[in-house]
Amino acid sequence: MLLVDRAATPERRIGESLIPAARRLLRDMAILDAHEALVHPAYLGNRSYWGDGPAQTTDFLRDPDRPGWHLDRARFEAFLRSAAIQRGATVMAPARLTGLTRIADKWELELTSNDGESLARASLIVDATGRAASIGKRLGADRQNTDRLAAHWITGSTTGGPERAEAGMPGFSVVESEPAGWWYTAPLAEGGRVLAFHTEPDINPLAPREADALVNRALALPGIGPMLRETGFSPETALSVTAANSARLAETAGDGWIAIGDAALSFDPIASRGLFNALYTAWSGAMACHDVLTGARDGFADYTNDLENVWALYQRHLAVVYGSEPRWRDQPFWARRAVAG
Ligand SMILES: Cc1cc2nc3c(=O)[nH]c(=O)nc-3n(C[C@H](O)[C@H](O)[C@H](O)COP(=O)(O)OP(=O)(O)OC[C@H]3O[C@@H](n4cnc5c(N)ncnc54)[C@H](O)[C@@H]3O)c2cc1C
């Protein structure tokens, strides 16, 4: 197996709350114990300032899968890469796929890396390129975006003793709605916290698009504002803007190829399901590939049907979440989601 990644090592990115149900997948993959040994902080639950009722806190105390994790993403991804190497994968990184040709029932891949250009042959190719969905799109699959959500985010330090740290609800992810979108904050495994605002480009009220503008708007929020003040939150990074919209490939597999993770289905982060879905589709996609290679299945129809169901469930979930904020239905951000729902 050849694993090609354009990044030499995992890049800094947002998205750290891994839900408890992922425990089952990591166990099935026989990497749960090694993952636990890396001791990412526990993800204990969620606090939401959403809708016109009081703030809601849900914890994972009674969850049969116990807490999830607030991951150090770079460490988690490096761990997954090393697990693949231990199971026989060869990693080529940084490297890019520059050409792809179907010859009989094989693929010929043209690759460019620091060592120059090379050719590789493969029976199956897996598109795990995230939102870029580079391979699926190259093979003609249509990438369908259902909205234009973008995340504007920074990370920052927090100060003070245990009492102040407590104000930041250690172990909890926090979301808060507002007229132009919604906010997210969570403690980071590596210290400090992440702060993100989700909105659409044409209604983005952040002017100028800078970290200070983001923090000032957050400080005025009734829920997250006091939390940031009490924990002494201070921005440490420039503002990053990342696509966070719902999107899918119209075909998630074809003759000799399959898409997994965000390449196949990309979720709005409010669903808190992206990493779980990436692990799930990697797992079920790997089994489908194994069966196709050994002749136990003659194609990926079961896999693509399964993803259709996942997408339908996700759409229903999203409609319920956005539908449970009635206060700003006349505002474009919420009106668009009500129509979609
Ligand atoms: C703002 C935001 C917040 C989020 N928060 C959460 C959260 O709290 N919890 C959660 O579960 N999910 C969250 N997510 C979603 C989660 O981050 C993604 O679902 C997850 O990263 C998908 O994993 P993936 O492996 O499919 O893709 P990615 O993580 O995007 O990985 C893609 C990989 O492919 C490589 N690559 C890309 N293009 C090429 C190419 N052409 N050639 C070679 N290599 C390539 C990249 O270097 C990278 O290593 C969030 C997403 C966003 C946008």
The CA 71 to ligand 1 mean position distance, Å, reads: 13
Q: For atom 39 of ligand 1, which residue has the closest CA?
A: 129
The reply to whether the predicted model has a pTM over 0.85 is yes
Determine the distance separating the centroid of ligand 1 and the alpha carbon of 15, expressed in angstroms. 8
pLDDT higher than threshold 90 for residue 64: no
Using CA atoms in the order 276, 279, 285, 286, what is the torsion angle rounded to 10 degrees? -160
- How far apart (Å, rounded) are the C-alpha atoms in residues 12 and 315? 29
Kindly report whether the peptide bond that precedes residue 226 is cis, defined as omega within 30 degrees of 0: no
> How many CA atoms within 13 Å lie on the side-chain side of 240?
16
Whole-angstrom distance, CA of residue 88 vs CA of residue 17:
29
Closest CA to 230 of 174, 152, 151, 153: 174
Choose among 268, 220, 270, 214: nearest CA to 237: 214
Confidence tier at 161 by pLDDT (50, 70, 90): low
In the reported structure, the alpha carbon of residue 295 is separated from the centroid of ligand 1 by a whole-number distance in angstroms of 31
For 293-318, how does the pLDDT look when each residue is reduced to its tens digit (9 = 90+)?
A: 999 999 999 999 999 999 999 999 99
Between β-strands 265-266 and 181-187, what pairing exists: parallel, antiparallel or unpaired? unpaired
Q: Which two tokens stand for residue 303?
A: 């896999």
Architecture of domain 2-44+58-146+247-323: 3-Layer(bba) Sandwich (3.50)
Domain boundaries, the chain: 2-44+58-146+247-323, 150-243
pLDDT, position 141:
97
* Ligand 1 site-directed mutation target among 4, 6, 237, most atoms within 8 Å of CB: 6
Confidence (pLDDT) at 164: 65
| Ligand 1 atom with the shortest distance to the CA of 96 | 42
Closest-CA residue, ligand 1 atom 28, reads 130
Atom of ligand 1 nearest to the CA of 242: 53
* Best residue for ligand 1 mutational test, from 275, 277, 318 (most atoms within 8 Å of Cβ): 275
